[in-house]
Structure 1
């Protein structure tokens, strides 16, 4: 960095970076929600046929977990090269891999056509998808955070994180449309259409992503690093000081578990207790629209009151609402189902919205991609990857009771709440700290306005 620690912010480039990251996150969540929804609706029958529909659904959710298991590995691989070679190049690779895997899933023959090879190929493509997603979110978050002014990181990260509800909304609407098809059409070709559409999202995303410039924070750090420091791998640097990584992972478990239960698994659960599919899908669309408001709002709020305050409010809300949430769902009323999911979504957004700036401000520049990606993806693996599988298995073993589901919400929220409580406030930290140094507070530097100049 320059001696003055001054970072030049190009607003036009920042807007382009935010759009690029948004499109990548849209694709990520579109694929995530789409796969989870199809696992609940048709994948069990098409790829894992069984005389017991519950067993088929559990097997289908198992492939969902397989994709999540690959995410931390993707975080390590893309994090390593992202910290060594740059954020932009890795994000181009992850976008192509994500969209390509989804497109190929849409072309897969089913079990009836090629037997056991069908689920094997499905798992392979799901793993490829997981590897790519493992490097996507961390890189997208850093491109925005490292371009933005210190006092507006949450606001700009909120734009990127709109990809979650937009991807969710796109996926849900597409599934609602194809669900109108007769069962024969849905099972023969209709389920393929949403996966094939992902190719269009990739083309749009690549067009924007190729035009952005590399993170200025990364470029300056790359120039300033000495030879000895460059010889240390980003992963080793993260593991030498594991506390931030552990806390980053734990902080994300609660929101991921809640979103997995309230989006993917809720489809299977409500089907079991007698809800109509249209009522559930309508409720999911409504909560996605709500998130278009709450995510950027809560993310920007973290710039004012701190990351910890916003995330802790969500964790406390999840603890309090864990049992009322399913009590409302169990009324079998479409109205109370919608109310329950709306409240759950607000709580989830409180926990989720500050994650991008919070995690990004916990690591030094030269290991930030690795630390953020592994922490986030381990949280997604534990919180969301196994939750639908565990929930379905518990319900199959104990009968259709919501008590175990409420317990999952409660325990995971407590884990995240305790983790966030243990993290020192990160708002405004200096992202230009040297290789291996902890991020320092912006208040410790002499430059005005966080050392940022806007052009």
Structure 2
């Protein structure tokens, strides 16, 4: 970005570039989850019974979680050594290419076993891109934030997550209303192919992003290290552990309420798939504004306080969501999925970037955050759809074991947040309020 641009123009480019770019990447990520929950069992695993096919579809969904740590390691290493901006451009192209290729992939009736193999490979590439995207976008936003607005700016790329969820749910809803034969023949492909348009827009916006001010300062002062991830693990192990444990409840609750719920609500609540998709899209809208509120609150009362409160509240909220879904009542479903869940998740997610970023110095910030974040996703997010289905089947169709598991993870996250390091290094121009500790 030209140095002649005003600070206001740079702020606008940072906010828009991190939020819209993240929204496009998460659209690509979630459109796969929707298809895995609703149609992939019949397209790529037609030779098995429906229940097994659904489990295999969720297994392909989980593939990305195992790729995300690798993507986080590769791209955060490059981001801490070469700069954040180019990483965001590369991850967007990689995600768009993989997603478009899924839309063009022949099904099992055409190429047999190569269809699910191809699906797994492309999902793995999605995971690599996603692993690099989150850290680069959130760190850039926080490091370019004006004084006293780390929470707000850190919330912008996080708002891209519900933006992508809303877009994927809305687009999928349009095509999942098609007659069954058209949906399974070509309708499911369109949401994947639309990625081409979104990536072009995202590249145009992201090219105007300014490079991180903290990174430029670290490079100028000769503070860049050769192996930033190893440096983060050696010098800041408690900070990495805080990110790992703190992110756990976000992984579990978010993907329970946006992916697994699509399968659960249609089978146990007897809702139509289009109804559940519409409720999830509504949840994304509420989540968008709740994340904004979380970022603003982080600047006023401290990111850690906001995050801790939301983690604790999540344990209570999820004790109610499944019973509400089981009623088969649309109002109850909306209350659980589109009101209670996004309010709790949004507040935590909005404060998360500024909280996590403050735990690390700039020269290892991207690597430290990405390592904890992505390995937490692999440990707690990857097995979630399969584990949730297993726990519900074990309990004879009742969700109480799953609710207990979510409560346990919430307790782990709460403890991890409470025990975070007190002597962390400030990010760019912090205000006292953002460093408040509980």
TM-score range, shorter chain: over 0.9
Deviations, residues 182-230 of structure 1 (Å, cap 9, x unaligned): 000000100000001111111111111112221121011012126xx63
Compared with structure 1, are the counterparts of its residues 171 and 24 closer, same or farther at alpha carbon in structure 2 (3 Å cutoff)? same
1:245 to 2:236 alignment: no
Conserved? CA contact 1:359–1:372, under 8 Å = yes
Tell me the equivalent position of 1:149. 146
1:270 corresponds, among 246, 265, 270, to 265
1:304 to 2:300 alignment: yes
Tell me the equivalent position of 2:227. 233
Q: Which moved more, 1:418-427 or 1:74-83?
A: 418-427
1:122 to 2:119 alignment: yes
1:331 to 2:338 alignment: no
Question: CA–CA distance in 1 between the matches of 2:209 and 2:274?
Answer: 41
Tell me the equivalent position of 1:354. 351
Question: CA–CA distance in 2 between the matches of 1:27 and 1:382?
Answer: 25
1:316-395 maps to which residues of 2 (within 5 A)?
316-341=312-337, 342-395=339-392
Conserved? CA contact 2:29–2:126, under 8 Å = no
Compared with structure 1, are the counterparts of its residues 114 and 399 closer, same or farther at alpha carbon in structure 2 (3 Å cutoff)? farther
Q: How far off is 1:259 after superposition?
A: 0.8
Question: CA–CA distance in 1 between the matches of 2:214 and 2:281?
Answer: 38
Equivalences, count? 427
Tell me the equivalent position of 1:279. 275
Tell me the equivalent position of 1:446. none
> What is the TM-score when the length of structure 1 is the normalising length?
0.89
Structure 2 gaps, min length 5: none
| CA RMSD of superposed structures (Å) | 2.1
Give the secondary structure class of the aligned counterpart of 2:149: helix
Structure 1 gaps, min length 5: 1-7, 433-439, 444-449, 451-455
Give the secondary structure class of the aligned counterpart of 1:371: helix
Conserved? CA contact 2:288–2:346, under 8 Å = no
1:166-245 maps to which residues of 2 (within 5 A)?
166-225=163-222, 230=225, 232-240=226-234, 241-245=236-240
Q: How far off is 1:138 after superposition?
A: 0.5
Compared with structure 1, are the counterparts of its residues 9 and 69 closer, same or farther at alpha carbon in structure 2 (3 Å cutoff)? farther
Q: How far off is 1:441 after superposition?
A: 7.4
Q: Which moved more, 1:251-260 or 1:207-216?
A: 207-216
Conserved? CA contact 1:361–1:426, under 8 Å = no
Runs of 4+ residues deviating >4 angstroms: 424-427, 440-443
Question: CA–CA distance in 1 between the matches of 2:76 and 2:274?
Answer: 41
Deviations, residues 36-74 of structure 1 (Å, cap 9, x unaligned): 111010111111224421111111111111111110111
Q: How far off is 1:420 after superposition?
A: 1.1
1:413 to 2:410 alignment: yes
Question: CA–CA distance in 2 between the matches of 1:278 and 1:401?
Answer: 24
1:21 to 2:2 alignment: no
Give the secondary structure class of the aligned counterpart of 1:275: coil
